[in-house]
């Protein structure tokens, strides 16, 4: 069996690449360890930047999103019981789109498989990559249907299997992997409760950072800074809501609307970046190539950025023999990746400085916040990074 492209992983990156290839008449196969039902319900990210939505629209992948996403124009910082609104849309003319990741994945599966006729093999196990440094690589896996190992030959492999996948593990020692550990955990929560504010809220508090992000009229994502490796069982319903009320409280606002917690897991906040994102005929995309802790809500956006570039580059090569897109792929992706990494690093200083117990870090945190709300130049620079609109990419 032979496909021009085998895509490992049916997340936002892999499915977008598949949809781009199918639209250009290039055949491909997607391999996914989970079931369709599972990936269509897995809640994670929810914030998309305007250029990312434009990219989906241009490729005919944003019909439902355009109808259902909420537009956000402001965010709010809370500290010392006070609220500070930041109107980024006013400064940039651009918005954030709030659209839960599982809705996007559902749209992409439907478009790739049901509309454009692409094939996905779900429930595969033990995926292995072979002969990547030749022009005839292959991918093998244990099929859910037959229980047997099957082999697929291809021209290219797109490694889109996220942070826990296998494609990154086959890189040779020459690949450089940079890592950064923030030394903090975030308890990631989903509450069956309507949002308690009309925009995202960042609570800067001596007990630790807290975040409030709308996902839908019925569900809200919250984050609570906690020790890395903490056990979610240490966080009872009562403790979660008491900390959220405290860290996100503002004197002139009613308390948060509480609800049942339907997700509760600890994320150890860390990042990594693989350079280059290419090894022979293997091209990594999304979290497989670079992880960005959800500090600045950038991960899904970067996955889409890679997918647009790789999808278009593979189409150009496989239909017209043009190599320039594939040659530039890694470098072009990494410019935006590093820029977002640097912004996350800066924002982490703001979120975690006050709770670090270090008066020096607390002092610089407040200096950063004061600058944001007093200097128009600092505000413009923040808005540009928050929305990913810098021209340098």
User: Binding string to ligand FAD for residues 167 to 206, with x set by CB under 6 A, is what?
Assistant: ---------------------x------------------
Q: Which of 17, 28, 46, 94 binds ligand FAD (CB under 6 A)?
A: 46
CB 20, min distance to ligand FAD, A: 14
CB 124, min distance to ligand FAD, A: 6
CB 85, min distance to ligand FAD, A: 20
Does residue 354 touch ligand FAD according to CB under 6 A?
no
Closest CA to 18 of 152, 135, 110: 110
CA distances 260 to 42, 47, 145, Å, are 18, 23, 38
CA atoms within 13 A on the CB side of 271: 22
- The C-alpha atoms of residue 104 and residue 100 are separated, in whole angstroms, by 7
CA atoms within 13 A on the CB side of 12: 30
Q: Which of 28, 47, 261, 369 binds ligand FAD (CB under 6 A)?
A: 47
CB 80, min distance to ligand FAD, A: 26
Burial of 19 (0-12, 13-18, 19+ CB in 10 A): buried
CA distances 230 to 89, 184, 237, 359, Å, are 36, 10, 16, 24
Pick the closer one to ligand FAD by CB: 45 or 61. Answer: 45
Q: Which of 166, 170, 372, 381 binds ligand FAD (CB under 6 A)?
A: 166
- The C-alpha atoms of residue 128 and residue 139 are separated, in whole angstroms, by 6
Q: Which of 159, 162, 203, 311 binds ligand FAD (CB under 6 A)?
A: 162
CA atoms within 13 A on the CB side of 106: 14
Q: Which of 4, 24, 27, 34 binds ligand FAD (CB under 6 A)?
A: 34
Does residue 161 touch ligand FAD according to CB under 6 A?
yes
CB 104, min distance to ligand FAD, A: 9
Q: Which of 9, 185, 195, 311 binds ligand FAD (CB under 6 A)?
A: 9
Question: Which range, of 249-257, 298-306, 327-335, 363-371, touches ligand FAD by CB under 6 A?
Answer: 298-306
Does residue 211 touch ligand FAD according to CB under 6 A?
no
Q: Residue 237's CB: how many other CB atoms inside 10 A?
A: 13
Does residue 353 touch ligand FAD according to CB under 6 A?
no
DSSP one-letter code for 114: I
Q: Which helix (H) or strand (E) holds 121?
A: strand 119-121
Does residue 287 touch ligand FAD according to CB under 6 A?
yes
Q: Is the peptide bond before 383 cis (omega within 30 degrees of 0)?
A: no
CB 232, min distance to ligand FAD, A: 12
Does residue 107 touch ligand FAD according to CB under 6 A?
no
Question: Which range, of 31-39, 63-71, 198-206, 233-241, touches ligand FAD by CB under 6 A?
Answer: 31-39
**Computed over its alpha carbons, how large is the radius of gyration of the chain?**
21
| The pair of three-digit structure tokens given for residue 31, joined into one six-digit string | 């391999």
Does residue 32 touch ligand FAD according to CB under 6 A?
yes
CB 22, min distance to ligand FAD, A: 17
- The C-alpha atoms of residue 39 and residue 12 are separated, in whole angstroms, by 10
Pick the closer one to ligand FAD by CB: 157 or 303. Answer: 303
Q: Which helix (H) or strand (E) holds 7?
A: strand 2-8
Per the CB < 8 A criterion, the answer to whether 124 and 108 are in contact is no
Q: Which of 6, 14, 240, 344 binds ligand FAD (CB under 6 A)?
A: 14
Helix segments in the chain, DSSP class H? 12-23, 36-39, 50-58, 63-68, 88-92, 101-109, 237-247, 299-320, 324-352, 359-374, 376-387
Q: Which of 301, 330, 341, 385 binds ligand FAD (CB under 6 A)?
A: 301
Pick the closer one to ligand FAD by CB: 18 or 286. Answer: 286
Q: Which of 55, 195, 286, 353 binds ligand FAD (CB under 6 A)?
A: 286
Give me the residues that bind ligand FAD (CB under 6 A), please: 8-14, 31-34, 39, 44-47, 101, 127, 160-162, 164-166, 188, 267, 286-288, 294, 297-301, 303
């Amino acid at each position: 069996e032979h496909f021009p492209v085998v895509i490992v992983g049916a997340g936002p990156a892999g499915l977008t690449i598949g949809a781009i290839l199918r639209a250009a008449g290039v055949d491909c196969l997607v391999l996914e360890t989970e079931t369709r039902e599972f990936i269509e319900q897995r809640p994670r990210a929810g914030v998309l930047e305007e250029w990312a939505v434009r990219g989906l629209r241009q490729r005919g992948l944003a019909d439902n999103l355009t109808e259902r996403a909420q537009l956000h124009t402001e965010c709010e910082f809370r500290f010392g019981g006070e609220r500070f609104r930041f109107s980024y849309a006013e400064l940039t003319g651009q918005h954030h789109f709030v659209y839960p990741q599982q809705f996007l994945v559902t749209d992409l599966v439907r478009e790739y498989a049901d509309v454009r006729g692409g094939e996905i093999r779900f429930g595969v196990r033990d995926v292995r990559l072979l002969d990547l440094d030749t022009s005839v690589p292959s991918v093998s896996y244990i099929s859910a249907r037959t229980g047997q190992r099957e082999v697929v030959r291809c021209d290219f492999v797109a490694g889109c299997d996220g942070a826990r996948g296998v494609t990154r593990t086959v890189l040779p020692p020459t690949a450089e992997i940079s890592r950064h550990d923030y030394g903090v955990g975030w308890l990631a929560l989903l509450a069956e409760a309507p949002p308690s504010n009309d925009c995202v809220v960042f609570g800067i508090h001596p007990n630790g950072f807290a975040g409030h992000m709308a996902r839908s009229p019925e569900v809200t994502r919250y984050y609570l800074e906690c020790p890395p490796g903490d056990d979610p069982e240490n966080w009872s319903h009562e403790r979660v809501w008491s900390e959220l009320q405290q860290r996100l409280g503002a004197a002139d606002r009613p308390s948060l609307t509480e609800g049942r917690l339907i997700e509760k897991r600890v994320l150890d906040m860390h990042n990594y970046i693989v350079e280059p994102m290419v090894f022979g005929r293997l091209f990594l995309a999304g979290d497989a190539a670079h992880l960005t802790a959800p500090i600045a809500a950038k991960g899904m956006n970067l996955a889409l950025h890679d997918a647009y570039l790789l999808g278009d580059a593979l189409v150009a090569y496989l239909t017209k023999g043009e190599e320039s897109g594939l040659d530039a792929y890694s470098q072009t992706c990494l410019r935006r990746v590093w820029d977002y990494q640097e912004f996350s690093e800066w924002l982490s200083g703001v979120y975690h400085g006050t709770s670090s117990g270090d008066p020096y870090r607390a002092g610089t945190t407040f200096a950063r916040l004061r600058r944001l709300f007093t200097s128009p130049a600092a505000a413009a620079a923040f808005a540009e990074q928050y929305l990913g609109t810098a021209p340098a990419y």
